[in-house]
């Protein structure tokens, strides 16, 4: 193995005089520039990580930085996150909460596990999950448009009643109405066979709005896999195992903030690493004749 001094001596003998001190000075400057750059990037990496609920792994931090104009390699982000002790959230199992009512009338399965509609407002999926608080259980219901995986409606309650899921679908209908979509005929609302969803009040409200009900197989999570995925993200990214929640009001406020982030800022791989609302906007930009007024402001 040749040392720096030996190499420099040979180069000098061949007319290319380089002092060892010149090499060491150059190497020191490179290390200093790299350290300065790393310190700058660590600030940006930490900011992106904290602004996104502390759940992004290296891939999404890297994508976000580049979307913001901070050019950096993914391997650099991975290295800096290791040095900072930052890691993405790891998903756990989702607990089933709904209980079917075998005596209730049952809608047909109109979806058959096809959760990739060609446009918004063709398929909504719905379910609810639970949050443990110091004051008792809180149940949170979601309604998601399957096209861009966007959360259109949600509600929380301290009991698993029909009003919980009914309020969530009312919120979803209101969201679409707000931006000009008033005709929901042809839309499928897919859910499980829980008694809340098979209740007379819920099924009548869907029919009144022109929405077709669809129910998957009893006890088969794959028949409502999409909403199970969103529930899992919610539990992993916001609720987080072991995090203390005190009241239903605290859960409601945090959920509202998470839903806004999820719809408008969270990078979703299914959407091509853009937020769900952005994918919907892109769809309507390509179909301007069908675009509801004001959608670009969502």
For helices 4-13 and 20-51, the axis angle rounded to 10 degrees is: 130
Q: Are 213 and 192 in contact (CB under 8 A)?
A: no
Residue 297: per-residue pLDDT: 44
Q: Are 160 and 132 in contact (CB under 8 A)?
A: no
Q: Are 130 and 95 in contact (CB under 8 A)?
A: yes
Residue 109: per-residue pLDDT: 83
The region, left, alpha or beta by phi > 0 then psi within -120 to 50, assigned to residue 24 is alpha
User: CA-CA distances (angstroms) from residue 194 to 157, 197, 223?
Assistant: 16, 5, 13
**Pairing mode of beta strands 150-157, 188-191:** unpaired
Residue 219: per-residue pLDDT: 54
Q: What is the pTM of this model?
A: 0.81
Residue 256: per-residue pLDDT: 97
What whole-number distance in Å separates Cα of residue 253 and Cα of residue 241? Answer: 18
Q: Are 27 and 35 in contact (CB under 8 A)?
A: no
Nearest 5°: phi and psi at 98? -80, 150
Residue 288: per-residue pLDDT: 73
Q: In what order do the strands lie in the sheet with 212-215?
A: 150-157, 136-145, 123-133, 188-191, 212-215
DSSP-derived secondary structure for 44-63: HHHHHHHHTTT---HHHHHH
Q: Residues 6 or more apart from 194 whose CB is under 8 A from it?
A: 97, 98, 99, 100, 101, 165
Written as tens digits, the pLDDT of the chain (298 aa) is 567 677 767 767 677 777 767 766 666 666 677 888 899 999 999 999 999 999 999 999 999 999 999 999 999 999 999 999 999 988 765 555 555 555 556 678 888 888 999 999 999 999 999 999 999 999 999 999 999 999 999 999 999 999 999 999 999 999 999 988 999 999 999 998 888 999 999 999 999 999 999 997 655 556 678 999 999 999 999 998 778 899 999 999 999 999 999 999 999 999 999 999 999 999 999 887 555 544 444 4
């Amino acid at each position: 193995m040749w040392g720096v001094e030996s190499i420099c001596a040979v180069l000098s003998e061949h007319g290319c005089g380089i002092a060892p001190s010149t090499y060491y000075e150059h190497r020191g400057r490179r290390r200093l520039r790299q350290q300065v750059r790393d310190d700058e990037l660590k600030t940006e990496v930490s900011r992106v990580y904290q602004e996104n609920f502390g759940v992004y792994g290296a891939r999404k931090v890297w994508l976000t930085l580049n979307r913001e104009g901070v050019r950096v390699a993914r391997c650099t982000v991975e290295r800096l996150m290791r040095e900072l002790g930052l890691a993405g959230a790891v998903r756990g199992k989702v607990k089933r909460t709904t209980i079917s009512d075998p005596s209730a009338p049952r809608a047909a399965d109109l979806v058959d596990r096809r959760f990739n509609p060609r446009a918004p407002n063709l398929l909504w999926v719905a379910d609810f999950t639970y949050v443990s608080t110091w004051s008792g259980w809180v149940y949170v219901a979601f309604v998601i448009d399957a096209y861009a995986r966007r959360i259109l409606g949600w509600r929380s309650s301290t009991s698993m009643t029909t009003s919980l899921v009914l309020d969530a679908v009312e919120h979803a209908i209101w969201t679409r109405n707000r931006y000009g979509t008033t005709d929901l005929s042809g839309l499928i609302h897919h859910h499980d066979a829980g008694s809340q969803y098979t209740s007379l009040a819920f099924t009548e409200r869907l029919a009144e709005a022109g929405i077709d009900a669809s129910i998957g197989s009893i006890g088969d999570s794959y028949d409502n896999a999409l909403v199970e995925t969103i529930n899992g993200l919610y539990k992993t990214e916001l609720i987080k195992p072991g995090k203390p929640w005190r009241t239903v009001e605290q859960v409601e406020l945090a959920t509202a903030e998470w839903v806004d982030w999820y719809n408008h800022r969270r990078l979703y791989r299914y959407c091509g690493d853009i937020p769900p609302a952005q994918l919907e906007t892109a769809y309507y930009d390509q179909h301007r004749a069908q675009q509801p007024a004001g959608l670009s402001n969502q």
